Amino acid sequence: MPMVLLFSFLLTGQSCQETVLVDYFTDNGLGAAVKTMQHPAGEYYKGVTYIAYQGPTEDPYVAAYSHRTGKWKGPFKAGESVLTGKEPGMIDNHGKPAMIIDDEGYIHLVFGGHGGTPDLGINPLGNYCRGQMKHVVSKKPLDITQWEELDNISPFGTYNQFVKMDNGDIYLFYRHGAHRSNWVYQLSTDSGRTFAPPVSVLQTKQTTGNEEYPDIHDSWYAWFENGQGDDIIATYNYHVCKGPKHDGERHNCYYMVLDTKDQIWRNVKREILAAPVTKEEADEKTLVANTGDLWTVRGAVRLDDEGYPHIIYYMGEYMGLKHGGPKQVIYYRWTGEEWFTADSTDLPVATGDILVSSPDEASLLLAAKKEGFAELTWWNTMDGGRSFKKGEVLYHRSKTGITTTSIIKNAHPDARVIISGNHKGDYKKMYLIGDKGPVQRLMSEAHQIDK
């Protein structure tokens, strides 16, 4: 114990935990407690950053940080996940919460799904796996202490993602079941109190098989985000869903846009797409990059000030692992006439999100582990992706893992993303990271797992 703190303890009787500030806001994140896929995982609203993550027994937990007072609240448990205990010793990790705040200030979470189970009923748009997708809302505006469950969404979802429009409409995107399921959205026009039935976006269907894999389906992984005005933008990749031996083979990068005024999907050239989009139409009209034999993981997409999309995704060689080998970040942008990439090798093997200002200027916030160190770092281009330079490091630790959310909705510069690092066993320390580094908290408040 440092001498100053020891002297303070002897004089006041306070323990170290009551006086020491730590970089993490809690230590009870469980497994892969956050990821870019389930998003947003946080929102800055009226001076406070609200954040959600997967905690003990895979339940959703919510905390809040006031930028004016520098005080934390929570974390509070917000719901009950049925993923818990389905298979002893297994953490499913697909039921992480996504968060949105409606126009009246009520906080909504969707969580707990990995395709659902047959006892929940017939899944008309896909197959089953485990879990049950649930929707909870705060009982009072901006109050994270009390929650109620609403029975108004499909139980068969996974990879839950919220998009809220300027008029208050809330779109909930997700895959409607396990691998062999359509991607869909449900629309709420009354601040999440009711949702319309699922509308299919990407079509899963039987495709050509072979001797080794006689049963192959077209499948997808997708990422949805606000576009310009009434638009919702999407990037996705193709999953070769094999049977009976399944693996994580995925290829290519695609892009399309939903005009929410007429509920019509278009490609980057504004050609109308027939939804739900099939593999054939995706290849013909929405393909950004054909990656051939190289495996991919979907990334993120944002628009520049001209309304042109900039996309990141992750690509690498198959190395016999469940999801392939290490995957480098790949950057593409639309020039108004074509998709451009310089195939820059400046970018690391990492995951993250992207902020874009102009056609030439973009900043990638990437979480990477290399040579025993974990870093959250800005990578910047000033020449439209022809080159990237490593910028400010917001988080750096040795001998630890790291996972990150997408960038928090309406993020304050002091609170860009939530990340997790190693702790005890399956538990993770959770950090709120901004341009000044981690938002600190008293150790006595941040220590949760033994309480």
Active site residues: 94, 159
Query: What's the token pair of residue 215?
Result: 């049963």
CB within 8 Å of 337: residues ≥ 6 apart: none
Nearest to 231 by CA among 310, 302, 334, 332: 302
Can you tell me the distance from the alpha carbon of 203 to that of 254, in angstroms, rounded to the nearest whole number? Answer: 14
Can you tell me the distance from the alpha carbon of 437 to that of 440, in angstroms, rounded to the nearest whole number? Answer: 9
Can you tell me the distance from the alpha carbon of 143 to that of 126, in angstroms, rounded to the nearest whole number? Answer: 36
Say if CB 379 and CB 347 are below 8 A apart.
Answer: yes
**Upper half-sphere CA count for residue 331 (Cβ side, 13 Å):** 33
Can you tell me the distance from the alpha carbon of 55 to that of 37, in angstroms, rounded to the nearest whole number? Answer: 17
Nearest to 429 by CA among 400, 399, 389: 400
Q: How far apart are the first and last CA of the chain?
A: 23
Rounded to the nearest 10 degrees, how much is the dihedral formed by the CA atoms of 250, 251, 253, 255? -60
Per-residue burial over 221-251, b = 16 or more CB atoms within 10 Å of its CB, e = otherwise: bbbbbbbeeebbbbbbbbbbbbeeeebbbbb
Q: Report phi then psi at 4, rounded to 5.
A: -65, -45
